[in-house]
Structures are given as structure tokens and as C-alpha cells.
Amino acid sequence: MRAVHELSICTSLARIVEAHADGRVVEVVHLEVGYLRQVIPATLRYSWEIVVLDTPLAGSVLDINHIPAVLHCRDCDARTVIEVPVFRCGCGSVAVDVVGGEELLVTSLDLAGPRTLAPPRS
Ligand SMILES: [Zn+2]
């Protein structure tokens, strides 16, 4: 099933985010996802809702920045953004290194405003 990939990604993301949030309320999780991860953003957002249901992260949403796949050509030094996984430079060379598209990073978290744990006494 296609969504299993996204679900397993969300399960590991949730662990990372919970560790960073350290008990604080998370509103938005900003992510960079490389094109070559073959993740469908809508499916990832939906999987996140399922994974965080009944956890401290429930109600948080993913903000996904899709990073294009980029090749670097060792023959002519050009960088090419590819739309489909064809690993060939515009000059015809296949001596290319993938230099973008494999990212899966949590870049930042939006946390709810600070909560006063001990209200000041008058
Ligand atoms: Zn080239």
C-alpha cells in the first residue's frame, strides 16, 4: 500500500519532533522533503494526522517545502533540476552526482506561546 511509506516517515518524524518540543505544544512542523524521497505531500500531511492522533502532537500540522532533485555534472559542471528520475545532464553526460532531492529534514517548529506555569503572586 502506497501510504505505508508516508506512515513510516511520519512515525520517525513524530519521534524527532517530540524530542525537540520537549513537552511544549507544537503548532507547525516545518519540513524539507527532497523530490527523490517520492513522498506525496498530501499523503504525508494525512499520515501525520493519523500518526499524531492521541499523542501530545495532535493538532499540529506539517508545512512541507518540497526540494527539487538536482544533478551536478562532472563533465561540464552544470546543475540541472530534473522533473523525472532521468540521471543525465543537459550536455548528454551521465557522469552526474545527485546533489539535491534526498532531503528529509525538520527545519523548525512553531510552538504555542509560552504558558505561565506559576502565575506571579500579587
Ligand atoms: Zn554536463
- Asked if pLDDT for residue 23 goes beyond 70, the answer is yes
Q: C-alpha cell of 118? A: 506559576
The rounded percent of the chain whose pLDDT value lies above 70 is 89
Q: C-alpha cell of 7? A: 506512515
The torsion angles phi and psi of 118, rounded to 5 degrees, stand at: -120, 100
Compute the distance from residue 85 Cα to the ligand 1 centre, in Å: 16
β pairing state of 61-67 and 26-34 = parallel
pLDDT at position 5: 83
Residue 82 lies in a domain: yes
Q: Is the pTM of this model over 0.75?
A: no
Q: Which domain holds residue 85?
A: 3-110
Q: What is the mean pLDDT of residues 1-24?
A: 86
Residue 78 lies in a domain: yes
Residue 57 lies in a domain: yes
Residues 112, 87 contacting (CB under 8 angstroms): no
Q: Which of 63, 89, 61 is nearest to 77 (CA)?
A: 89
CATH number, domain at 52?
3.30.2320.80
> Exposed e or buried b for every residue in 7-36, given b needs 16+ CB within 10 A?
bebbeebbeebeeebeeeebeebebebbbb
Min mean pLDDT across 3-7, 18-22, 25-29, 64-68 is at: 3-7
Compute the distance from residue 43 Cα to the ligand 1 centre, in Å: 35
Residue 120 lies in a domain: no
Task: Give the bridge partners for 46, in sequence order.
Answer: none
At CA 34, angle to CA 94 and CA 50, rounded to 5?
145
Query: Which pLDDT tens digit goes with each residue over 25-63?
Result: 999 999 998 888 888 889 999 999 999 999 999 999 999
Compute the distance from residue 39 Cα to the ligand 1 centre, in Å: 28
Helix pair 41-52, 3-21: axis angle to 10 deg: 60
Q: C-alpha cell of 21? A: 518540543
pLDDT at position 37: 83
Q: How many domains does one find in the chain?
A: 1
Compute the distance from residue 77 Cα to the ligand 1 centre, in Å: 6
